[in-house]
Amino acid sequence: MRRTRAAAAGAVTASLLTLVTACGGGSSTSDGSNDSPKTLTYWASNQGASIEVDKKVLQPELDKFEKQTGIKVKLEVVPWSDLLNRILTATTSGQGPDVLNIGNTWSASLQATGALLPWDAKNFAAIGGKDRFVDSALGSTGAQGQDPAAVPLYSMAYALYYNKQIFADAGISKPPATWDELVADGKKIQAEGKSALGAEGANLSENIHHVFVFAKQHGGEFFTSDGKPDFTNDKVVAAVKQYVDLMAKDKVIPTGDAEYAQNQSVSDFAKGNQAMLLWQSASANLKSQGMSEDKYGIAPVPVQSGTPGTGTQVNSAVMGINLAVFKNTDNIDGAKKFVKFMTGDAEQKILNTAYSSIPPVRTVQADTTFSSGANKVLKDTLATSAAALPQVADESQFETAVGTAVKDLFADAAAGRAITTESVKAALEKAQQQMPTK
């Protein structure tokens, strides 16, 4: 028995996965009902500086919803590191929340599970219509040609955050608009004894977002038009190499950043040790770390030449959070009411202000609150120069495979190994081979 027990412990995955399925029995095939019309469970992703901050932001709004509808919403704020696995477990067991936040890049992958309520014309009509949302946000709600699997809630985009004082000390009068300018400015900043640009080399998602943008700027795509991985085409290889070369060749990213994965580069920037940061909606995060808004400027992420725009002048992925409903909810009408409430004009203004994100709802986005400073840069980026990550069912695997390849390349660069076109291609070849073939 000892042997059996000990050996059983070895079957890590089988035990974990099958325990879940044994409990749930894969019985989540039923569609929604209204059996529990007075309660809803809501999984919110961790958007603020901490889970406590999120609760403080969200609870008053949920109380407001209860007052309006009589439906009590049980809130659980789920950390990012747990969210995807929690969703997966809920999908398998059928024991999940009624409404949940998902990262918008996961939309197509989660849509493929069939667990999320499709937002067809009828469902969209129940929350005020599809036309209420801006096109860029709708582009990250599911696979093309299918009804969206979720509704946009918060929109975000990358911007270049720069330390005004460090720039002034280095004699730089304006933020760089191209990568060549960024490298040149970086050298001046380093001459002043400061770090130039931060990166999260071991954070797979950050890696993906950046190499996706670089690929766009090279006119390359990670997937063919029929959805097959194409990671080793010359344009993608050049794009990945250019990003890693910011550390390996240009040396504007410090080698220490190769092991960063817990937002340490944001802390370095907030502490005034680092001049530039490429981040999405960082204002609230910087404020929570004691950096006041007058200390830094916000500019569009650099492009290869000229100014950001469509095509090869894309400078950000369309980032953000979507709101989804589990198909097997026991309060389908209440869930739709809740989505309508959260995407309503009043709540959109409150929530997006609290999280320093951009509302994906047209009418609210036009509000003057979101037309100055960081908001203006992010809004313009979303409107003119941001592109949605590949909306394919294997997007989650793509993030892991290519994100890991870039992480390994950064590790090589940090160790002083040469980053060549061949080594980048080999890393991407390996990533592509790990993608599902069916």
Please report which residue ranges of 140-200 form alpha helices under DSSP H.
Answer: 164-169, 179-191
Tell the smallest beta-carbon distance from residue 195 to another protein (Å): 10
Rg (C-alpha) for the chain, rounded Å, is 22
In whole angstroms, the minimum distance from the beta carbon of 53 to another protein comes to 22
Instruction: Using the Cα atoms of residue 400, residue 406, residue 409 and residue 410 in order, give the sign of their dihedral.
Output: negative
Site string for another protein, 54-93 (x = CB under 8 A): -------------------------------x--x--xx-
User: Whose CA is closest to 197, among 253, 145, 139, 130?
Assistant: 253
Question: Which residue from 355, 336, 354 is spatially nearest to 344, judged by alpha carbons?
Answer: 336
Q: Give 88 or 361: the residue with its C-beta nearer to another protein.
A: 88
Write down the least CB distance from residue 186 to another protein, Å.
Answer: 18
Nearest to 104 by CA among 280, 254, 248: 280
Q: How far is the CB of 392 from another protein (least distance, A)?
A: 12
Of residues 400 through 429, those in contact with another protein by CB under 8 A are: 400-401, 403-404, 407-408, 410-412, 414-415
Q: Given the rule CB under 8 A, which of 124-132, 211-219, 369-377, 430-438 is the region that contacts another protein?
A: 430-438
Site string for another protein, 88-117 (x = CB under 8 A): x--xx-x--------------xx-xxxx--
Residue 11 or 168: which CB sits closer to another protein? 11
Nearest distance in Å: CB 216, another protein: 24
User: How far is it, in rounded angstroms, from Cα 283 to Cα 279?
Assistant: 10
The length of the chain, given as a count of residues: 438
Residues whose CB falls within 8 Å of the CB of residue 204, separated by 6 or more in sequence, listed in order: 399, 400, 403, 404, 406, 407
Only segment of 5-13, 62-70, 149-157, 337-345 that touches another protein (CB under 8 A): 5-13
Residue 104, CB-side half-sphere exposure with 13 Å CA sphere: 26
Nearer to another protein, 8 or 168 (CB): 8
What is residue 382's DSSP assignment?
A: I
**By C-alpha distance, which of 379, 422, 239, 217 is closest to 314?**
217
**With b meaning 16 or more CB within 10 Å and e meaning fewer, what string describes 38-68?**
eebbbbbbbbbeeeebbbebbeebbeebeee
Q: Does 436 bind another protein (CB under 8 A)?
A: yes
- Closest separation in Å from C-beta 165 to another protein: 22
Residues 221-260 that bind another protein (CB under 8 A): 255-256, 258-259
SS3 assignment, position 238: helix
Q: Which is nearer to another protein, 146 or 397 (CB)?
A: 397
Q: What string marks each residue from 12 to 51 as x (binds another protein by CB under 8 A) or -?
A: xxxxxxxx-xx---xxxx----------------------
DSSP 223: B
| Other Cβ atoms closer than 10 A to 299 | 16
Least distance to another protein from the beta carbon of 412, Å? 8
Question: Among residues 119 and 260, whose Cβ is nearest to another protein?
Answer: 260
Which residues of this protein are in contact with another protein, per CB under 8 A? Answer: 1, 3-19, 21-22, 26-29, 85, 88, 91-92, 94, 109-110, 112-115, 201-202, 204, 255-256, 258-259, 261, 393, 396-397, 400-401, 403-404, 407-408, 410-412, 414-415, 430, 433-434, 436, 438
